[in-house]
Structure 1
Amino acid sequence: MTPRTLYRRIALAEVVTWSLLLIGMVLKYVTKTTDVAVSVFGLAHGVVFIAFCLVTVVLWVNQRWSLRTGILGLLSAVPPLLTVWWEHRLERRGLLEGGWRLAPGGDTPRNPAERVVAALTARPAVAASVLVVAVVALTAVALLVGPPVGSQG
């Protein structure tokens, strides 16, 4: 899977879960019919949000994005439905082109972040496992910390 394909898929998943969460919020706060959808879709969105942020960091390193581009990539997950627009913008600017730069036979890693990405691209199955474990761990932390202030209701 290329960086472009990975980013496109995770950006779309983030938009889908945001949309479902917004539907759940309408059901809870506007129609007052159920709050189950907020719990279910909120958790799904949280998981995909974390995955999007982790993938953004990996691509930031692999694609050699500027600090500004990387930070804007992370921030694109905060407003509803912005990640697909952000992915299209990166695509138009050529910032998702090419393969995994740090894969075996590619560029030599020059810093600790690049060494981590190189290790992950050398072993895709391990990379997927590491991503899943990281998402689960960060989701557990988020659940322990609790919902954002003011979202109880």
Structure 2
Amino acid sequence: MTPRSLYRRIALAEVVTWALLLLGMVLKYVTHTTELGVRVFGLVHGVVFIAFCLVTLLLWVNQRWTAREGLLGLLCAVPPFLTVWWERRLERRGRLDGGWRLGRGGDTPATPAERLVAALLARPLVAVGVGVVAVLALTGVALLLGPPVGTQG
């Protein structure tokens, strides 16, 4: 899987889960029919949101994005539906081109962040495991902290 295909998939998944969460919010707050949509789709969206942010960090390092690009990528996960727009913007600008720069046979990592990404790319199954554990741990922290202020109604 290339950086481009990974980012495209996670950006699309983030948009789909946003749409499902918004549907759940309509059912809860507009039609007053059920809270189940917010409970289920809120959790699913939260997991995908965290995964999108982690993938953004990974690509920020691998693709040598500027600080502006990396921060905008993270911020685009917050408003609904911006992740696909952001992914396409990066695509048009050639910022998702190529393979894994820090993968086997690629560039020599120069920074601690690059060494971490290179180590993960050298062991894809370990990388997936680390990603899953990171998403689960961050989701657990988010669940412990609770919903944002003003959304508990």
- TM-score w.r.t. length of structure 2: 0.99
Q: Following TM superposition, by how much is the alpha carbon of 1:51 offset from its aligned partner in structure 2, in angstroms?
A: 0.2
Q: Following TM superposition, by how much is the alpha carbon of 1:148 offset from its aligned partner in structure 2, in angstroms?
A: 0.3
SS of alignment partner, residue 102 of structure 1? coil
The corresponding residue for 1:105 is 105
Instruction: String of CA shifts for 1:69-95, please: whole Å, max 9, x gaps.
Output: 000000000000110010000000000
Matches within 5 A, 1:130-149: 130-149=130-149
The corresponding residue for 1:128 is 128
Number of equivalences: 153
Q: Distance in 2 between matches of 1:108 and 1:130?
A: 22
The corresponding residue for 1:96 is 96
The corresponding residue for 2:6 is 6
- Structure 2: state its 5+ residue gaps: none
Give the counterpart letter for 1:73 in structure 2: G
Q: Distance in 1 between matches of 2:129 and 2:10?
A: 16
Instruction: String of CA shifts for 1:93-123, please: whole Å, max 9, x gaps.
Output: 0000000000111000001000000001111
Q: Following TM superposition, by how much is the alpha carbon of 1:63 offset from its aligned partner in structure 2, in angstroms?
A: 0.2
Q: What stretches of structure 1 move > 3 A for 4+ residues in a row?
A: none
The corresponding residue for 2:119 is 119
Matches within 5 A, 1:1-153: 1-153=1-153
- Structure 1: state its 5+ residue gaps: none
Identical positions, percent: 78
- TM-score w.r.t. length of structure 1: 0.99
Q: Following TM superposition, by how much is the alpha carbon of 1:43 offset from its aligned partner in structure 2, in angstroms?
A: 0.2
